[in-house]
């Protein structure tokens, strides 16, 4: 299965680069990701829970990085095993290019699946992969792009409400604030 596309992201290439290599960003952006740990040098260990057509599975896998050209391009390779559901593996060549609006991210994915998920046929698997990619980038752009004026105003209202609620019961979340632009704020932009 091959999947190629490009996305224009309203953030500087340096920020996009840092985000791609941040396990927490990937954790938040990969749909169904339950954990993502590790480092760029050692690779990441990931657990992703997903439903492909009628098959639900928890994929555990390893992601590694190669051909790294700092700030410009890299190759991501990974393999996930989903038990009796089968496996998915593949690679993505990712290139970043500065453009007026920020960064153009281009990716070429070459992936293959095996076992039960392959048996379901390419119609399900291909559209599933496309959906996963769309969802990933929607979340990724959310993380790295600055919020618009309207979004800021809306967020302020929500925050005010949340502050009230927090007085009554202390927040028990994982501590991360995942509203739009959270990665920007986290790294202090």
Binding site for another protein (CB under 8 A): 83-84, 86-87, 112-116, 118-124
Q: Which distant-in-sequence residues (6+ apart) come within 8 Å of 15 by Cβ?
A: 103, 144, 183, 184, 187, 189
Task: Compare residues 43 and 114 and give the one whose CB is closer to another protein.
Answer: 114
Q: Does the CA dihedral 135-139-145-147 come out positive or negative?
A: positive
Choose between 122 and 148: whose C-beta lies nearer to another protein: 122
Q: Give me the least distance between CB of 27 and another protein, in Å please.
A: 23
**Nearer to another protein by C-beta: 6 or 35?**
35
Taking the complex as a whole, the smallest distance from the CB of residue 130 to another protein amounts, in Å, to 18
Which run of H or of E encompasses 149? helix 149-168
**What is the smallest separation between the CB atom of 32 and another protein, expressed in angstroms?**
17
Where do we find the tokens 């990712």? Answer: 94
Nearer residue to another protein within complex by CB, 118 or 154 = 118
| Alpha helices, H only, 21-81 | 23-29
Task: Return d(Cα 113, Cα 90) in angstroms, integer.
Answer: 9
To the nearest whole angstrom, how small is the minimum distance from the Cβ of residue 31 to another protein? 21
């Amino acid at each position: 299965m091959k999947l190629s596309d490009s996305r224009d992201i309203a953030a500087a290439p340096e920020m996009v680069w840092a985000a791609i290599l941040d396990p927490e960003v990937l954790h938040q952006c990969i749909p169904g990701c339950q954990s993502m740990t590790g480092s760029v040098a050692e690779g990441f260990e990931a657990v992703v829970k997903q439903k492909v057509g009628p098959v639900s599975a928890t994929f555990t896998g390893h992601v590694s990085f190669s051909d790294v050209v700092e700030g410009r391009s890299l190759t991501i390779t990974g393999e996930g095993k989903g038990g009796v559901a089968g496996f998915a593996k593949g690679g993505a060549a990712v290139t970043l290019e500065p453009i007026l609006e920020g960064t153009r991210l281009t990716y070429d994915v070459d992936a293959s699946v095996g076992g039960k998920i392959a048996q379901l046929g390419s119609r399900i698997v291909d559209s599933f992969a496309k959906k996963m990619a769309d969802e990933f980038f929607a979340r990724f752009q959310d993380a790295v792009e600055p919020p618009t004026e309207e979004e800021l105003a809306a967020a302020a209202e929500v925050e005010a409400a949340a502050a009230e609620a927090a007085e009554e019961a202390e927040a028990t979340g994982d501590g991360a604030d995942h509203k739009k632009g959270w990665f920007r704020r986290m790294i202090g932009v």
